[in-house]
Structure 1
């Protein structure tokens, strides 16, 4: 999805209930396991930024919007009837990230209806899908968008801050709407262990000060960075890194996921040991040649984990319960770990 550029410049279960004969592909909307196995009870009420939403019965037709919510549903064995077409990080152009395709194959499911959100929510496609619930626990929907969606079906919006939902909170919130909280808790515990184990290969990660950025190489007069509310920045702390003093201070009582600051005040970032950011392979050399950027310890040491823009590995930097534990998710941890090893002690 292009929001990463625009806003910064973002397997459990045993049997699949099929709508048809055994051995056929599951139609979108099919769920893994029975309602009893899911362990949920309804109605459920979910609090969020726009109030609260009550879901009267376990949803059978699920639509997801924005980024990542479809991955939470799929990780819990629920195949949406419609979900966003991925237009950022999708290297083969089919609208699906690799780990989503793998999960659909694992579930024996057909590809759901893919909605293009380049210009906003496709309300007509959402309505045509006849959803019982619309999942958007990780999103930046506005009050107006929420109100419009609510005329179609109950909507699960973000808890407090737009684009400020961690992968764990997204998973648990969406799971509550699906009646699968117990399953989500176990899934999160398993994935957190994987992250801990994968990060342990890089002792240099521990305690290094960091920030996550998106840079415009044509304008280095401003340094933009994600707040600790953003799941990308928050995930770095799960790897063992710590937010730099600027990130930590800016994030206190913040209601946004993104900050900018003039590089005239570059000394503000004098404690940054490791930088993770979207860019090109040539970006580090450009920054090292810049009289201001080169004063940041991470830049001077070459401790920059560069995520080539609009690639799958860049998409994996925004963690989900499907991307974590995949080869792409592990490659991302390796990339950040290698950068940390270049940082000064």
Structure 2
């Protein structure tokens, strides 16, 4: 499928190449952050010894901006490129959409050494990874994220999947990419709301892992639009966020323990997304609200200070993100949805709760009363 190409300036003057390694025993890979990465896409893939067939997945808008650049670069490197376009939005992150990817893979005779390449945000990345994990029992997978959220979070770590009507990401697999290629300049075309959604995940890393990142964000003038970030701050955000994700995934690839801290803000956040049909509140907004709620739970348990909870809330507000649960959501419905969350263990909901800026703990000892109180107080 094709979309009308658009011309976009993709140079970001102050960014230099940075390569981070995700150290996994059998599936280690690089995260390469560099200007003009899209123009070098084909050349960078040559070193990975992939097969010659590539199926590029994207959505219409992203493909319109960057599809031609990506395809040209791949073809110049000798790859045969087919495309599959999926409409934007969580509502299309379904098994039905994956069936369409399989159909295109079959039509183009993809083989086991072929590659599925995700050019887009977190939704495209998750679906491409899941399709790659399951087509022919596993083909190559490359991430080229185009949203801030995908760059700092969704593209790294190998979590792939689709939504079930009853819950987010309930169907999926751990499947690592061969490469994550980040071109910061593509953020120039990212809508402001989507940029803010990515900032929620950046703030998350500051709270759970990287106190210095949190402090850098606190003293920044504005965080709600791409244009207000200096090139140096953007570079710091990308590097430190990706490094935090790589560090955690390197220690716990399949969420047996430590990796669960990456779900900070996601427990209540996923419930909000699900109950609003993935349309009223986007993922980053839901995570922001979930972080405030988790902070309130930690305060009620006397594990976190009210001062630090307020600092977190102010930083979230500086990024232009919501901090309150939609007023029309029934607290009981939120509690019921939490019980179907994939992080539930032995029937108990596990929460990631902050103890200080840069440190969190995992607990399944949060009573329903405290959860309900936190939900109501943040509504």
TM-score (norm 2): 0.28
Higher RCO, 1 or 2 (CA under 8 Å, sep at least 6)?
1
